[in-house]
Every structure is written in structure tokens, then in C-alpha cells.
Structure 1
Amino acid sequence: MTHVRTSPLRNAFTHRTYLWLIDLDRPPAVPRPLRRLAAFPETGPTGPAARHDLERYLHAAGIDATGGRILMLAHARSLGHVFNPLTVYWCHDRQGRALCTIAEVHNTYGQRHRYLLHPDRHGRAETDKEFYVSPFFPVDGRYRLSLPVPGERLALTVHLERAGGRPFTATVNGTRRPARTTTLLRAAARHPLSTSAVSAHIRYQGARLWLRGLPVHPRPHHAPTEKTR
């Protein structure tokens, strides 16, 4: 994944990691000895908790995803820790038709916000920015996103547009691999403590920008319903 900031200071970095693309109804069967390396959304008393949470959210928006396939792109919980700056859900109806895409953003303050999107056939969508993510940007502007359903290649792009230009772009690119034991072991060996490293890298880059004199914007209050567990 690559982050490029162009204004008011230029800063760019690339961070290598690995993500999982899973069907929420059929998460990979990770062998018991390796489950500390890859744990997926918990199961509640009536089934997968993450799926029911999403269905409630969609129902409130007038969308019925009951029985349809939901694909999730995210980090798995690894060694007891998980942090996903961006989780993407591709939601379908029972006939396999695309209903919507959800871009779920988490910040480092333990909060989340979901953007309900209706992309075009190329996976492109726009939405107003409504959530505090970086302390170096206020909550304004507009996102232009490209979030096509991954095939053999993963290629996601998020642009932030504000008055006067496009000060920030994030991209996530990768190649699809089968969810096998050998694949997991190889990825964990190449990227140990992968989710902790994501959190640490975000804080490291923030400290660098602050030391370079980039001003901090106060964090606004977000509703308690946006708190993560």
C-alpha cells in the first residue's frame, strides 16, 4: 500500500503487508495451531456476528442483503491484534447482483465510520468526507474512490479532494494467492506482526510530519455508535 501527501508538505511512503479476501459466510479453515496467526470475525449466537452487524446497517439504509454474498477485504487478527485503516465489503443479493460497497474506515482513536457506496461498473464512487482520520486534515473535502471487486489482481485507490487540489492519495495493490497453510506461513514469515506494524507505521509517519511542523487539526466529537469494540 502506498500513501502520497502533496500538500501542505510532501510525504510519500510504501508499506508492504498482506490482506485477506474472504466470504463472510465461509471464512478460511485455518488449522488450530495457526489460528493465532489469522483469526476472523467472531461468531455470535445466531451466526457470524460481522455479517449480522452489516445486515442491520444495510437494512437501516433500505437495502436487503439477506442471503446474499458479502466479500470482505481486511487484515485478520494476528497474535491477538488487528487494525484495519480500511475494510472493504462488497455486498450482493441472493441472485449474485451487486447491491453496494461499504468502505469502513478506522482511525487510531478506536473509532470507525462506514461509507455506503454505489459504485459504477468500474468500481468508482464519490462521497463527502465525514470522519476524522489523520490529525493533519480537517473533516472536509470529498473522496473519489476506485474499489472494484478483486480478481487475480487487487487495485484500490482513494483520493481526497479539497478546495484547491488533491492533497492525498492512497493505493492498495496486490496479487491474489490461495488461502493455504503454506501461503499463510510464508506471509507471516515475510511480514511478522503485520497488523501491529500497520499501527506503528501510521504513528511513525504522523510523528515525522509533526516534527516537520505540519499543524494538527483538533479531533471533533463522533457519535458513540461509531466506537469500535
Structure 2
Amino acid sequence: MEVFYLLCSILSTFFTSLTLSLLLPFRFLLMRHRLPLSTSQFEPVSLYQGTVWHDRRRPVRHSFRYSVRYALFDLDHAPNTPPDHLSADEARRITKTDGPVFLLTIPPSVGYEQNPLSLYYCYDSEGTDKLLKKCIAEVTNTPWGERVSFVFDPNSDLVAKPLHVSPFMDMLGSWSLRANAPGQNLLVTISVQHPELGDYFLATLKAKRVSLESVHDHTLYFWLMPHKVALWIYWHALKLWWKNVSFIQHPRYTNPSYREEALNRDRKLQCCPGLRQNKDEHMQVGGSDSATEAERYHGERFFVWKDAKWPWC
């Protein structure tokens, strides 16, 4: 059944993206006729180009890298931010900060969005590099499109794995995260610490800021970028299957309480009494049992899960 859902998702994305791509020339002609492009309208957005690298050391060695393009949005000033993300005020409320908030993400392209990781950089009031206080990670799995969000310390933090991100990784272990304040260079590292396999997986994002003067249109700059990321994910999943790495079914079928178990494991990681005061407080967003988003106020971690979208829901 999941193979059928995957085919539906791929076919829907293909025809939607093809149609919108064919319409792009008409959009550019209309924009040039109405208003000449100017770099000043893009000042609240910084563009980055770099490389994502994955290195799996066990149970088999498998590494790959691919080029990627990201946008860094100043959420207080950018006129057109990607949909389905937090606002600056929401991010400040969650992280208890009062300064600028920046969102690092891959914008949707011709009707398709693919963001394995988006990051919010939350600053104290002065907003200098030294005052980056907290980050919020938004991790989305492929192909299901589920998402988990949580707060972490960008200097270094350890978070119990809260999402089934790959059918070739189980839910055990923790994510070790680190991120620098984005400037001319940007670096994000995530390693997996597993109770049996040890420190067996590392993912990094290294990128450099691109001059806005060299980019005439954001739509062209990010054209098919989400599709390329998805293609790399599927291709290397096929390679892992070919290497006989065990396929692990989604825990929602085998262990529906996996989210609560992740919360319990994260509580054990956070041994500070101040972070355990609200550990049993829960809230269902939306006011009904059918809501697709659930928040878990766990100390200052603030886990938020979003369920899968069509056709996986």
C-alpha cells in the first residue's frame, strides 16, 4: 500500500511541477512588463549555496554529497516568506527571545516543497552574532512529509530522536546538533548517537552567501531545487536497499506510542531540575481529536509534531 501512495505522490508532483514550469516564461514576461527587477526588494532575504554531506559508517559504509541552495529570511521584514512556517513572533514566544528571527529553508518551487531541515535562528535584542541564543529545528521526513520541531542550543545540544526520518534508521539514539550564526559562511552539523551502533551517522550543511546582484530572480534560482533534493534522497535509499541495509517500517504501524517514548528519552537527557518542572504538561492544538498537530511542552525543548499529508494521511 505504501508503494501505491509513493507512486501517487510522485505522479502528482510531476504533473503539477511540469504544468507550473511551462507557465514560468509567461510569468517572467508579465513581471518585466509591469516592474523591472531590482535587488532592493530582496534585501530581507540572503541566499546561500553549498553542500550537504551524509556519512553512514555502520552497518555498512555509505557516503554521498549534493549541492543545495537555501534562502535565509528575516522574518520581521521579508515580504514573502514560505508558507507553513512559524512567524517571528511565534518563534520568539517559543524560545523566549526578543530579537531578530531568521528562517533558513529551501523555498517551494513550481508547487513542490522538500525540506529535510529548516532552521530558525533566534537572537537576543541586539541581534549580533555573539547573541544567537536559540535555534528551532524543523525536521521533515521523506516520503511521508511528517514534521517535528524543537528548540535546541546552537552551541551544542543533544536531543532524543523524535521522528522516523529514514526507513533505514530505527528510532533509538539521539541527535547531536550544532549550528553557527549565519554570516558569509553557514555550518550545521547533526550526528546520530546510537546505543548499539555508536556515533555512526553524520550530516553536515556547509554554505556560502551568494551576492544578490548575481541572482536576477529567486524563482529561477530555486527552480527544481526541492525536486533535486528528493531525487538524491530516493536514489540513495535505493542504494542502501541494494547494500542489504535492513528496511525498518514506520513506527506508527508497529509502535504508536513512539512520540511519547521519545519524550521520555529526552527527559533523561535533560537532567537539570529547572527543565523538568513542566515535563507532564500536554496540549492538543486545534481543539479536537482530529487535529493534525500536537505540541508537547517538555521543559524548554517544545516538541511539535505534524502528521503526514496526502496521500500518506
Q: TM-score range by the shorter chain?
A: 0.7 to 0.9
Asked if 2 retains the 8 angstrom alpha-carbon contact of 1:86 and 1:106, the reply is yes
Match of 2:138 among 104, 109, 130: 104
Q: How does 1:173-184 map to 2 (within 5 A)?
A: 173-180=206-213, 182-183=214-215
Match of 2:81 among 40, 43, 47: 40
Distance 1:106 1:78, change over 3 A: same
CA-to-aligned-CA distance 1:51-77 (integer Å, 9 cap, x gap)? 06x71x764x5x444x63111111011
Asked if 1 retains the 8 angstrom alpha-carbon contact of 2:110 and 2:223, the reply is no
Structure 1: runs of 5+ lacking an equivalent: 30-38, 44-48
Provide the rounded CA distance (Å) in 2 between the counterparts of 1:168 and 1:157: 11
1:41 is aligned with what amino acid?
P
SS of 1:195 mapped into structure 2: helix
Structure 1 equivalent of residue 172 of structure 2: 140
Provide the rounded CA distance (Å) in 2 between the counterparts of 1:174 and 1:58: 25
Asked if 2 retains the 8 angstrom alpha-carbon contact of 1:144 and 1:161, the reply is yes
Shift of 1:92: 2.6
Give me the CA root mean square deviation. Answer: 2.7
Aligned residues: 204
Residue 227 (structure 1) aligned with residue 299 (structure 2):
no
Structure 1 equivalent of residue 105 of structure 2: 74
Distance 1:64 1:192, change over 3 A: closer
Match of 1:23 among 74, 80, 83: 74
Q: Which structure is higher in helix share? A: 2
CA-to-aligned-CA distance 1:82-125 (integer Å, 9 cap, x gap)? 11100011113444354421111000101000121123xxx222
SS of 1:140 mapped into structure 2: coil
Structure 2: runs of 5+ lacking an equivalent: 1-51, 260-291, 294-305
Residue 169 (structure 1) aligned with residue 202 (structure 2):
yes
Asked if 2 retains the 8 angstrom alpha-carbon contact of 1:18 and 1:187, the reply is no
TM-score in terms of structure 1 length? 0.78
Asked if 2 retains the 8 angstrom alpha-carbon contact of 1:64 and 1:93, the reply is no
Provide the rounded CA distance (Å) in 2 between the counterparts of 1:150 and 1:185: 22
Shift of 1:42: 3.6
Asked if 2 retains the 8 angstrom alpha-carbon contact of 1:70 and 1:91, the reply is yes
Shift of 1:40: 3.1
Distance 1:175 1:198, change over 3 A: same
